[in-house]
Chains A and B, each alone.
Chain A
Amino acid sequence: MGLKNEVAVIGMGCTKFGELWDKDVKDLVVDACYEAFDDAGIQSTDLDAAWWSTMYSGEMGRSLAYPLKLDYIPVTRVENRCSGGQDAFINACFSVAAGAYETVLVCGAEKLKDSGISAAGIDPTTPYTHRGDIMFVPPGAFAQIAQRYFHHYGIDPKEGKEALAKIAVKNHYHGSLTPKAQFQKAITIEQVLKAPMIAPPLGLFDCCGVSDGCAAAIITTVEKARKMKKDFAVLKGFGFSIGHYQASIEDDWPFIYFEENVRAAQMAYKMAGVTNPRKEIDVAIVHDCFTITELIICEDLGFSEHGKAMEDVHKGTFELKGEVPVNTDGGLKCFGHPVGASGIRMLYEVYNQLMGRAGKRQLDNVKLGLAHGVGGTPIDSSTGAVVILGKPD
């Protein structure tokens, strides 16, 4: 069971992420998709179908078809919050593996900075029903899991904050090596610790940026990829899990990990034949919307045991030269988080590392890489999404 070695990624594209005041979402779609077309060596008219991930920046499939003038092909719009990108990618892979389509575009885009607020886009909730009546913003929701994590493991808040600061410093260093990142400046631990507090223990540098961006991938069968290109990436496994508001309705839910991540990773590893992720995953691009999220994800994905990721942070396990390099492109921390685009942007870095195109941050001998997303908030439930790409056998 599964789609290991069934689907190939033959081209990818990605815009610069940031406050792109002079570009519309349609501009971003054109820029990212044409980069992917060129990389794959195809025309838009070669496409059989497309999957389109956006939360706030378009409705229906036509908001992708319109800027690209797609040739009356099917376009499916996917919305699964912050992991919509991975979800769109996985569903596009189904269509190729099933033999329904041969050449498929997956595109994710988001234009957050037109909303007029300095947080993620405006949540278009339905009229006043449950959850609409609780005023919240993401930093508060994720700060609460940080508080619980510290409390549960008996971590001194000062020490905990310093460990989180190291994650921010690491990702900012990686961002400084990544030309398409929103933030390309290295920072120091002192800067992180002295930055304005947003929601304790999370300060300004513990939170990812808010940006506009778009990324795209062209997928096809492995058989066709071999005829088209010398070098391409192959889908090795994926997992997708979604919770049922367990954290806010089950009174014994411990609130120190994401069951969705654990389940998604289990599915993906099983499909890919990964038994020891810490040893076998060469690069992981994960959902560091906040530093605490990256810390917990490293446990959920099996890179560290539960409660032990801080030790690995101090050991440098997740740095470029560490055992499991995490967020080599700077992550959400440095790219910002244009919701529907992030999942494809993560795959873009995995793809570049596999292709040897990651520039100053290129790792040696990358065989297997993972892109991971969390959608929603830990305060009730989220998605967990894992996609593993590798080299062709």
Chain B
Amino acid sequence: MVGLISYGAYIPRWRMDLGLAGARGERSITGPDEDSVTMAVAAVMQCLKGVDRSKVDGLFFASASSPYTEKQMSTLIAKAADLREDIMTADFGSSTKGGTTALRLAADAVKAGSARQIIVVASDCRMGEPGSEHERNCGAGAGAVLVGADNVAVSIESSMSVANEIFDVWQRKKDTYLNSWESRFDLAFGYTKSMGEAVGGLMKKDGLTAKDIAKAVFYCPDARTTIGMAQGLGFDPMKQVQDGYMGTIGNTGTASPLLLLAATLDEAKADDNILLAGYGNGSDVIRMKVNKAIEAKGRVSVKAQIQSKLNVSDYFTYLKWNGLVDLKDAKMPYVLTYASAPPTYRERERLYAFHGTKCKQCGAIEFPPQRVCAKCRAKDEFESVTLSDKQGKVFTCMQDPLTGQMEGLINLDGGGRVYCNMADCTMKTVQIDTPVEMSFRKIVLVSWDTMISYTWKAVPLRVNG
């Protein structure tokens, strides 16, 4: 039986009050050091809580806002998640249904025996033009599932796809923002048509009616259209359709189905029938059945992540974070460092997998990895330890007076000290002894770098309840 072994989601802490854009409600936005890749890593880390990652044979990354046109990001995400290197990786771009398509293909690969387990992660932070409906609707987030054949908590029962060649939403390589046609056309002949064909088609094929489904998880383009589409298929939108969180998160694009699925699974019961449907130039629908609740110590629920938030202070800051204003008076950085491929490659275990060393002689855990132990001076007698999933406490910290960037020394639980930047906090919210965890983030070395640099930073703990 093939299905889901685990799942996870990530919603950035940052929100924009849509009052800043002349509308109501709020939506999630990426912080200044987040993108679709960092959010994907965060969702994968949630998905891997309590999971033996050595059995993971593949990682699929789906996103319409991957930072590169050419350069696979699933490899980077897999490395950040400290997966093996003899695995299959693939990126699914260009369509917001990429996540559900990747999930179908992952299930097929597992079923065919070409992989034991595959992580599917979908992440998006699509940009709408300032003042546009897309700007008001688009949110940022990521969702991940681990597909396998053993110890399956949610079995995949059946699936179906339809293709729909239409210009409803599109973005050329050179476009900063989403383009779309008139929304009445888009939603009628794009979303509503394809979702109806796929969902209706699957239920007909499986001999089911709407009342057989405990929860329908639908890609959600806006606050209204999903409700109308669901009603048309016979669902009770209030009871049977997963809330799209349009007033709090927004449309997370490719991430939408898997992120909303995580919210459903947070509260699902055994024997629940779940429908999952994605949209983007067609639709995929997957029917699943819950065998048992997926409990994982430390996984933070979608609801808790929605509640754990920070509001961006003003619209200029939002523009600045997204590189949408030229900062001509930007000063030279104090540390003039630039991205370089060889050290980034050479140090990928430190940089991405966040490995430290543990001395076999004295047991000291040290980061970055050392050749000679700082404590006992033993040479080359270390084993690697993964520090990305460790929690810790602030030993001391400070905010850069020029950039506002936080930095600090973090003492990790179980040993080891990390000197790193910190994110999603200020000197008002963290101090000596504040509990923290590690988060994969972007770092801008110099503005003219064409390689994006990433690093692990410390962030305040996010917890359930």
Interface residues of A (CB under 8 A from B): 115-117, 119-120, 122-130, 132-137, 139-141, 143-145, 147-148, 151, 198-200, 244-251, 253, 255, 379-380
Contacts known (A117-B331, A137-B400, A248-B409); A124 close to B374, Cβ less than 8 A? no
12 pairs, A vs B, C-beta closer than 8 Å:
A116-B332, A117-B332, A117-B334, A127-B342, A128-B453, A130-B368, A133-B337, A134-B421, A134-B455, A140-B399, A199-B398, A255-B395
Residues 325-353 of B contacting A (Cβ, < 8 Å): 331-340, 342-344, 347, 350-351
Q: Which residues of A contact B367 (CB under 8 A)?
A: 249
Considering only CB atoms, which chain A residue lies closest to B415 in the complex?
A251
A147→B417 CA distance, assembly (Å): 17
Measured between C-beta atoms, what is the minimum distance from B38 to chain A in Å? 14
**Contact assessment for B407 and A134 in the assembled complex, using a CB-CB cutoff below 8 Å:** yes
Interface string of B448-465 (1 = CB under 8 A from A): 000001010000000000
A282→B368 CA distance, assembly (Å): 43
**Contact assessment for A246 and B374 in the assembled complex, using a CB-CB cutoff below 8 Å:** yes
What would 4 more interface pairs be, CB under 8 Å, given A135-B443, A199-B400, A248-B418? A122-B334, A134-B420, A147-B432, A251-B365
Contacts known (A199-B401, A380-B419); A144 close to B335, Cβ less than 8 A? no
**Contact assessment for A251 and B432 in the assembled complex, using a CB-CB cutoff below 8 Å:** no
Q: Which residues of A contact B408 (CB under 8 A)?
A: 144
Residues 368-424 of B contacting A (Cβ, < 8 Å): 368, 370, 374-375, 395-403, 405, 407-409, 411-412, 415-421
Q: Which residues of B contact A115 (CB under 8 A)?
A: 332
Q: Which residues of B contact A141 (CB under 8 A)?
A: 398
**Contact assessment for B337 and A126 in the assembled complex, using a CB-CB cutoff below 8 Å:** yes
A103→B343 CA distance, assembly (Å): 45
A139→B396 CA distance, assembly (Å): 14
Which of B374, B407, B412, B421 interacts with A244 by CB under 8 Å?
B374
**Contact assessment for A135 and B453 in the assembled complex, using a CB-CB cutoff below 8 Å:** no
**Cβ of B294 under 8 Å from chain A:** no
**Contact assessment for A129 and B347 in the assembled complex, using a CB-CB cutoff below 8 Å:** yes
A151→B394 CA distance, assembly (Å): 13
**Cβ of B366 under 8 Å from chain A:** yes
Which of A126, A148, A249 interacts with B374 by CB under 8 Å?
A249
Considering only CB atoms, which chain B residue lies closest to A120 in the complex?
B334
**Contact assessment for B340 and A255 in the assembled complex, using a CB-CB cutoff below 8 Å:** no
A249→B365 CA distance, assembly (Å): 8
Contacts known (A117-B334, A133-B351, A199-B398); A128 close to B416, Cβ less than 8 A? no
Q: Which of B399, B416, B421 has the most CB of A within 10 A?
A: B399
**Cβ of B233 under 8 Å from chain A:** no
**Contact assessment for A137 and B402 in the assembled complex, using a CB-CB cutoff below 8 Å:** yes
A294→B395 CA distance, assembly (Å): 22
A94→B432 CA distance, assembly (Å): 45
**Contact assessment for B340 and A251 in the assembled complex, using a CB-CB cutoff below 8 Å:** no
Q: Which residues of B contact A126 (CB under 8 A)?
A: 337
Considering only CB atoms, which chain B residue lies closest to A115 in the complex?
B332
Contacts known (A247-B409, A250-B364); A133 close to B336, Cβ less than 8 A? no
A133→B446 CA distance, assembly (Å): 11
**Contact assessment for A148 and B432 in the assembled complex, using a CB-CB cutoff below 8 Å:** yes
A125→B443 CA distance, assembly (Å): 15
**Cβ of B427 under 8 Å from chain A:** yes
A379→B421 CA distance, assembly (Å): 12
Contacts known (A140-B407, A144-B408, A253-B417); A125 close to B336, Cβ less than 8 A? yes
**Cβ of B445 under 8 Å from chain A:** yes
**Contact assessment for B370 and A137 in the assembled complex, using a CB-CB cutoff below 8 Å:** no
Which of B366, B411, B419 interacts with A134 by CB under 8 Å?
B419
Which of A120, A143, A250, A253 interacts with B398 by CB under 8 Å?
A143
**Contact assessment for A122 and B339 in the assembled complex, using a CB-CB cutoff below 8 Å:** no
A29→B284 CA distance, assembly (Å): 74
Contacts known (A116-B332, A122-B334, A128-B343); A145 close to B443, Cβ less than 8 A? no
Q: Which residues of B contact A120 (CB under 8 A)?
A: 334
Q: Which residues of A contact B421 (CB under 8 A)?
A: 134-135
**Contact assessment for A129 and B400 in the assembled complex, using a CB-CB cutoff below 8 Å:** no
Considering only CB atoms, which chain A residue lies closest to B356 in the complex?
A249
Measured between C-beta atoms, what is the minimum distance from B68 to chain A in Å? 17
Q: Which of A120, A133, A248, A249 has the most CB of B within 10 A?
A: A133
Contacts known (A248-B417, A255-B409); A199 close to B399, Cβ less than 8 A? yes
Q: Which residues of B contact A122 (CB under 8 A)?
A: 332-336
Measured between C-beta atoms, what is the minimum distance from A200 to chain B in Å? 6
Measured between C-beta atoms, what is the minimum distance from B288 to chain A in Å? 41
A245→B418 CA distance, assembly (Å): 11
Considering only CB atoms, which chain B residue lies closest to A121 in the complex?
B334
A147→B340 CA distance, assembly (Å): 35
Q: Which residues of A contact B432 (CB under 8 A)?
A: 147-148, 151
A132→B420 CA distance, assembly (Å): 11
